[in-house]
Amino acid sequence: MSMSEKRYFSLFAQRHTIGQRNNYFRLFELVEQMPQYDNELLTQKLQEEGLSVRHLSSDKNYLYHLILKSLGAFHAGKSAGLKIKEWLIQVEILYEKGLYEQCLLLLKKATQLADKFDLFSLKPEITRWASKAHGHSGHLATLNATLAEARNQLDILDNLFLYQDLYYRMIALRQSIDKARDMNSLAELNAFISQPALRDVSSARSFQARVYFWRVHAMYYYATDAPQKELHAIEHLQQLMESAPNYIKEFPFDYLVTLSRILHLKRHRDDEEFNKLLAHFRAFPAQIKKARRKLESQVEAISANISLSRLIEQKRWKEALELTAHTREVFAEYDRLLNQAQKISHAYMLAYIFLANGRFRDALVQVNHIMNDFEADVRPELQAFTRILNLVVHYELKNFRLLHYAAESALRYLRKKGRQFKFESHIIRYFKKFSRIDDEAQHRPLFEACRKELEEILQDEFERKGLEYFDMVAWLEAHIQQVPFTDVAV
């Protein structure tokens, strides 16, 4: 909750609880003070303050619903969707009291607002109440027109649901594949994008359906590694959103994601141009009145991750290391507001940067964090390459006897996830060889053989994508030349 929401809840709780106000609000304060919820600690603190814990479960349930009511009151009317839903509640009350003309006045306002913000999912409910009110008011001609409009709305809504379904199916496909690493994955992606509804944007009958159309295409081009085409699709999406400023006000996070993707795709521009793009992106929250804290958290986290990614790709390792102090502060400050994908991406880049700069124990902390603290379906491609980083870090720490176990564990993970690509499998096989030789001086021939075979594997364009996650060629070259990783230019 934001500070404003907390202040409002304090006042709201005073108005809506009698006698037990202090107890409920104190319960709220104690929970809010915890960095992570701990029921035993909460019970202990309540008992220390002389507050009853006999009905703690029901007290927490009451507090939960009280907070929801408070948030509902605090955010009332702050978006077009919320306004319409509030009006529909009022319409139902007026209808039950037989005030049909007053119902129709509110429904007219709701219709206008839904049209203005392209809120088609709310139109059927508006029309349902309008039909009932017109029927009781004797407006039969208007009723017939309303019913005809309802049928049209259902067709448009059905079309919207089609594109919404395609969008979420594409998200699932992209999450499982990330980027196509073999012909089967590419064929699956090509079959998906060839569906009739995705051939031309004119098939999308509403603004939101067109948004979904371009998002699906952008994800397809990402997964098939076509960045220029992805940028083209994202810029279409940006133009579409900017053609309807009300949409941006109603759905600021949708626009923010679009801007962030453009920033990511243009991260290769020179420093001056990139910094201008970054400044434009960071200025967006100031233009929006609602959810400011959440918007700021997303802007800060996305800016941090893209900036790190850019420095890694440009092999500016020292600058990347310097930036990590700031990015870690950002992720600590906004931890509760960030999603797992953002956090694992940040942790992976930290591990990579620490490894490159010779801070192997710091790298191992991040590697263990990724392997132990994230759900299996969060960025599976990063979790797979974290197993590679784990091997590299243990090698650098000279934990040679751990390598065999770690390599076997990595292979099991790749088999389980269906990610047994040549790039990763080849690397793991050589680490198993390293584990059999304790004398580091005898490893150089293995490095040379590994690099030679890897260069052959990388002739396959699908396998070359492995270098986007970790530059194994540079690491091998550093050991062959016996120089720091940061000194190798590949």
CB 427 within 8 A of CB 391: yes
In the predicted structure, residue 77 carries a pLDDT above the cut 70: no
The band of 460, judged by pLDDT with boundaries at 50, 70 and 90, is very high
Q: What is the dihedral of CA 111, 112, 113, 116, to 10 degrees?
A: 120
Q: Which domain, by its residues, includes 11?
A: 3-74
Query: Does residue 308 lie in a domain region?
Result: no
* pLDDT above 90: residue 345: yes
Residue 140, pLDDT score: 62
pLDDT surpasses 70 at 138: no
- Out of 116-125, 321-330, 443-452, least confident range: 116-125
Q: What is the mean pLDDT of residues 135-155?
A: 70
194 in a structural domain: no
Please tell me whether residue 365 adopts helix, strand or coil conformation.
Answer: helix
As a whole number of angstroms, the distance between CA 317 and CA 182 comes to: 31
Q: Tell me, what's the pLDDT at 74?
A: 61
Query: What distance lies between CA 313 and its chain's CA centroid?
Result: 22
- 21 has a pLDDT exceeding 60: no
Does the pLDDT of residue 335 top 90, yes or no?
Answer: yes
Would you say residue 238 lies in a domain?
Answer: no
- On the question of pLDDT at 327 being above 70, the answer is yes
Q: Could you report the per-residue pLDDT of 282-325, keeping only the tens digit for each?
A: 999 888 877 788 899 999 999 999 999 999 999 999 999 999 99
Whole-number pLDDT of residue 80: 80
- Domain count for the chain, please give it: 2
Q: Read off the pLDDT of each residue in 410-420 and give the average, rounded to a whole number.
A: 91
Confidence of residue 451 (pLDDT cuts 50, 70, 90): very high
Phi, psi of 137 (to 5 degrees): -85, -10
Maximum Cα–Cα distance across the chain: 95
Query: What are the start-end ranges of the H helices in 357-471?
Result: 360-373, 380-396, 400-417, 422-435, 444-457, 461-464
- CB neighbour class for 236 (10 Å; exposed up to 12, middle 13-18, buried from 19): middle
> Residue 75 — pLDDT band, cuts 50, 70, 90?
low
* Structure confidence at residue 33 (pLDDT): 74
Q: For residues 411 and 65, which has the higher predicted lDDT (pLDDT)?
A: 411
Residues 211-225 have a mean pLDDT of 97
Provide the percentage of residues in the chain whose pLDDT is more than 90.
Answer: 57
Q: Which of 153-157, 229-233, 414-418, 444-448 has the lowest mean pLDDT?
A: 153-157
Last-in-domain residue among 29, 49, 74: 74
Task: With respect to residue 271, please indicate whether it lies within any of the assigned structural domains.
Answer: no
> CA 419 to CA 411: how far, in whole Å?
9
Per cent of the chain over pLDDT 70 is 90
What pLDDT was estimated at residue 2?
Answer: 66
Instruction: Indicate if the pLDDT at residue 8 is higher than 70.
Output: no
Q: Is residue 205 part of a domain?
A: no
pLDDT of residue 97: 85
Structure confidence at residue 199 as a pLDDT band (50, 70, 90): very high
Question: Of the ranges 35-44, 118-127, 462-471, which is most confident?
Answer: 462-471
Q: 71 pLDDT band (50/70/90 cuts)?
A: low
Q: What is the mean pLDDT of the chain?
A: 88
Given a cut of 70, whether residue 67 has pLDDT beyond it is yes
Q: Pick from 19, 49, 74: which residue ends a domain? A: 74
pLDDT of residue 276: 94
Per DSSP, the residues of 107-170 read HHHHHHHHHHTT-GGGHHHHHHHHHHHHHHHT-HHHHHHHHHHHHHHHHHHHHHHHHHHHHHHH
- CA–CA gap between residue 68 and residue 372 (Å, rounded): 33
Mean pLDDT of 55-83: 73
User: Domain for residue 386, yes or no?
Assistant: yes
Provide the phi-psi class of 138: left if phi over 0, else alpha when psi is between -120 and 50, else beta. Answer: left
Mean pLDDT for the stretch of residues 58-76? 71
Query: Higher confidence at residue 290 or residue 93?
Result: 93
Q: Which one of 74, 102, 118 terminates a domain?
A: 74
pLDDT of residue 224: 96
Residue 446 confidence (pLDDT): 93
User: Quick check: 48 pLDDT over 70?
Assistant: yes
Residue 324: predicted pLDDT: 98
Q: Cα(176)–Cα(168) distance, rounded to whole angstroms? A: 13
Confidence of residue 12 (pLDDT cuts 50, 70, 90): low
Which of 18-27, 127-136, 174-183, 217-226 has maximum average pLDDT? 217-226
The CATH number given to whatever domain includes residue 476 is 1.25.40
Query: Has residue 236 been placed in a domain?
Result: no
Mean pLDDT of 33-40: 75
**Domain-embedded: residue 101:** no
Instruction: Give the pLDDT band of residue 195 (cuts 50, 70, 90).
Output: very high
Reply yes or no on whether the pLDDT at 31 is more than 90. Answer: no
Q: What is the tens place of the pLDDT at every residue in 158-194? A: 899 999 999 999 999 998 888 999 999 999 999 999 9
Is residue 422 pLDDT above 60, yes or no?
yes
Distance CA 279, CA 272 (A): 11
pLDDT at 19 over 60: no
